[in-house]
Structure formats: C-alpha cells, structure tokens
Amino acid sequence: MNWTIPPKPAELTEKRLIEAILDGVFPVNSNLPGERALAELLGVTRPTLREAMQRLARDGWLEINQGKPTRVRDYWREGNLGVLATITRYHDHLPENFICNLLFVRQLMAPTYARLAVECKVECLIPLLEELTNLPDNASAYASADWDLHYQLTVCSGNPIFTLILNGFKELYPVVGKVYFQSHQARSRSKQFYQDLLVCARTGDAQGAHAVTDQVMRDSLEIWCQVTGGQS
C-alpha cells in the first residue's frame, strides 16, 4: 500500500506565503500584515503562522526583528542557493525572465565544467556519451538524458560547487526540458552536441569540449526563445 503523508499546516502556510511573494501580493521590501491579521487572512492559527515565518526567515525570504514589522527580503539581492532551489519548485509562479536567466547562467558554467570533465575523468564520460547516440526521439527521453549528462559533467569536473548549483535546478529541469525538447530542432541540436562531445572525449580534446558546449548553450537559449515565443 502506498501511503502519502499530508503536508503539515505550517508547510502549507509556508507554501502560500512563498507563492504570495513570488506573485507580488507581498512585494519585496514590503512589510507583512501583523501576525493576527495575517493569520486570519491565511486561515491558520498564530502558532502555525509563526512556525512558517520562522522557516522562511531561516531560508532568506523574510526578515523578522522583534518589535518591528516583518519585511519581505529582496530575494534577488539578499537570497542564496536555498532561495533559488525553492523558486524552481514553484513552476506556476516563476518570476519574469527566470528561465532565460537560468539558461544564461548555465551557458556561462557548462563550457567550463565540460572542459574540466574531459581533463579530469574523460574515461567516465565516453560510455555515457555513447549511450546518448541511440536516444528515443521524444521529449521525455531527451529531457532525462540531458539532465543526466550535465549532472555527470559537473561531477566529473572535480568541482562539487558546480554540482550543488546544478542540483538547485533539479526539480525544474525536467519540466523545462519536456517543453524545450518538444521541438524537433532542439532534439536535433542536442543530438549533434552529444556526438561532438563524444568526439572530444575520445580524443581528449578539452578545449574542443569547451567550444562545442559553449555553442550549444548559446543555440539552446535561442531555440528556447523560439519554442516559447520569448516567454520565460
């Protein structure tokens, strides 16, 4: 029997507050209503609200000072990787241009971790890339394979910070990937990338791996804009 544990009231309250912040109901640098009014607005007890707010303060969403109103932090300027990971879980409440900005950051990182992976652990990459030559031609297969490849590239790079950053996108990646890889052009471009990267791996061409990864990241951003009509 498959048991599903329902979320606790504080978890639901936390979720509703994050959605309200992301949707601009409680804008950054604004003050939340007083505890009594906010508890009534959310339909929860004050202890439940306090628990949720303490968790959000810990994670960088709120600033709580005794005797002063609770401030909504500017999560873009004051946030951290924990805030980033939380945002990626709220697929229906993403800030404007979030995915485009995310893809741009990946464009900056991926060529470097691909180069390092070929330099450090190329023997681990070759079997993985060989498997990608026979991917089923559908969005789900490509979305899953592309995540696995980038994850392994970060691991093989020898720099665990790359992996930690990438893991922050883990829940959003397949959602975006299935939209992106609905495009035949996207699948075709990634297939060519996997083949080019395999050639670089087999020849130990780390700089070549950097170059082909840099180009596919640039192309991916353009294709994403085409697929989504410029929407983030």
Could you report the per-residue pLDDT of 199-217, keeping only the tens digit for each?
999 999 999 999 999 999 9
Pure H helices in the chain: 9-22, 35-42, 46-58, 75-78, 81-89, 98-131, 139-156, 160-167, 172-180, 184-203, 206-228
Report the Cα 185 to chain-centroid distance in Å: 23
The pLDDT assigned to 79 comes to 85
Which residues does residue 71 pair with via DSSP β-bridges, in sequence order? 31, 63
Q: What angle do CA 222, 228, 232 make, to 5 degrees?
A: 85
Domain 9-77 has CATH 1.10.10.10: yes
d(CA 207, CA 144): 26
Q: pLDDT for 42-82, tens place per residue?
A: 999 999 999 999 999 998 899 998 889 999 999 989 888 88
Superfamily assignment of 98-228 in CATH?
GntR ligand-binding domain-like (1.20.120.530)
Pure H helices in 157-183: 160-167, 172-180
Place of tokens 């991916």: 220
Q: What is the pLDDT along the chain (232 residues), one digit of tens a residue?
A: 455 567 789 999 999 999 999 999 999 999 999 999 999 999 999 999 999 999 999 988 999 988 899 999 999 898 888 888 888 888 888 888 888 888 899 999 999 999 999 999 999 999 999 999 889 999 999 999 999 999 999 999 999 999 999 998 888 888 899 999 999 999 999 999 999 999 999 999 999 999 999 999 999 999 998 888 756 5
Residue 13 main-chain phi, psi, to 5 deg: -65, -45
Cβ contacts of 125 within 8 Å, gap of 6 or more: 117, 118, 152, 153, 156, 197, 201
pTM as predicted = 0.83
Residue 60 main-chain phi, psi, to 5 deg: 95, 10
- Grouping H, G, I as helix, E, B as strand and the rest as coil, residue 31 is strand
Ranges for all domains in the chain classified under CATH 1.20.120.530: 98-228
Ranges for all domains in the chain classified under CATH 1.10.10.10: 9-77
The pLDDT assigned to 91 comes to 82
Element (H, E) at 171: none
